[in-house]
Amino acid sequence: MLHCYIVKLLSAMLQKKKIILGLSVLLFLLVGIFAILIFSKDKSIGSVPSQIATSSTEIRVQFFGDIMLDRNVAKAMGAKGLNYIFAKLSPTSTVFTGADIQIANLEGPFAPTRVKTSKSIAFRFDPKLAAQLKSYGFTAFDLANNHSYDMGRANVAFTRETLKKAELGYFGDELKEGSELTFVTNTVAFLGLHNTYHELNWTKVKQSIDDAKNKAGYVVVNIHWGEEYKRLSNKKQRDTAHRLVDLGATAVIGHHPHVIQEMEIYKDKPIFYSLGNFIFDQYFSKDTQEGYSVELTLDEGKLKDIQLIPFYGVKSQVQLMTEERKTQFLDWFGKNSRLGAYIIINGIISFTSTP
């Protein structure tokens, strides 16, 4: 009888040990899995980063050309605002790529009311449109153009404050250069330069680029330049672009001509001489109704690839080009651009392999 009791007691104790051991092993595995999940999010962990950590360094930045929200555009929008502008787009047919950062040139100021001016062409944008721009995914705007001061200096400050309230960034100035005008987000620095009637202060430009390189892994220069309605860049644009790259620009994004101009790859850095109009009126020609967006994919301190997204407008409503029209655009673009050994394949230029 005692013998049986002892056997049962030992058996029960052994069973408890197995349960405890099993629970210990399970707890150890759970702690291990949890640690892996936590530390895999930190890119600095481990001497050889995993594929997940590497891909998480990738940054996609999308750029658009001129946005003008006055004149015939304002009349066409009415109370609908930007919802009218983008009414022809859909989830399967859109110009927006869902990039991490979305940038455009804001061709004019926000102002509560119109201000009298001696300028023959002066724009004023409804401040309520700032929140709509935010809702369509924009991150920041270049203010370095020949219309930023259209409503006076006070409304330059008002424009910046309006963008800030809408949680939008801004960079550049119509009349000056300086590192204090740089916008930095997600390891990308954005500089805005105006070079139509205003001549650049190259000492300040160099200081700005040097400062940006100390703050960010990439430096993109947006510049307002060139001759209106000319389909090809001029020598001044090309010389300026090369100088900006030589100073350290990762890419140069141009606007102002109101038409598409060619691009160039100089020292493995892309230069887009003019993206054309994005939101504008100028309904008088096909060229002023066409534009394109460019998306840069940046990774590990280098440019990975470029995507070109051509579109057109009808009464300021933005629409993707049809395949036929896109093919014609890419054919013209490729023939007139200086790409060296790089090639455009279905709107994409890859930098992952050395040409």
pLDDT tens for 287-336 read: 999 999 999 999 999 999 999 999 999 999 999 999 999 999 999 999 99
Q: How many CB atoms lie within 10 A of CB 60?
A: 19
The span from the CA of 181 to the CA of 174, in Å, is 11
The one-letter amino acid code at 30 reads: L
**DSSP assigned state of 198:** S
User: Is it the case that residue 55 has pLDDT exceeding 90?
Assistant: no
In degrees and rounded to multiples of 5, residue 16 shows phi and psi of: -65, -40
Architecture of domain 61-350: 4-Layer Sandwich (3.60)
Task: Enter the tokens of residue 212.
Answer: 């940006």
Burial 140-172 (b: 16+ CB within 10 A, else e): bbbbbbbbbbbbeeebbebbbebbeebebbbbb
The span from the CA of 76 to the CA of 79, in Å, is 9
Domain boundaries, the chain: 61-350
The one-letter amino acid code at 149 reads: Y
Question: Residues 126-165: pLDDT tens digits?
Answer: 999 999 999 999 999 999 999 999 999 999 999 999 999 9
Q: What is the pTM of this model?
A: 0.84
User: CB within 8 A of 36, min separation 6: which ones?
Assistant: none
Q: How many CB atoms lie within 10 A of CB 53?
A: 17
- What long-range pairs does 89-96 form, CB within 8 A, spacing at least 24? 89/318, 89/319, 89/320, 93/319, 93/320, 94/320, 95/64, 95/293, 95/309, 95/311, 95/318, 95/320, 96/62, 96/136, 96/137
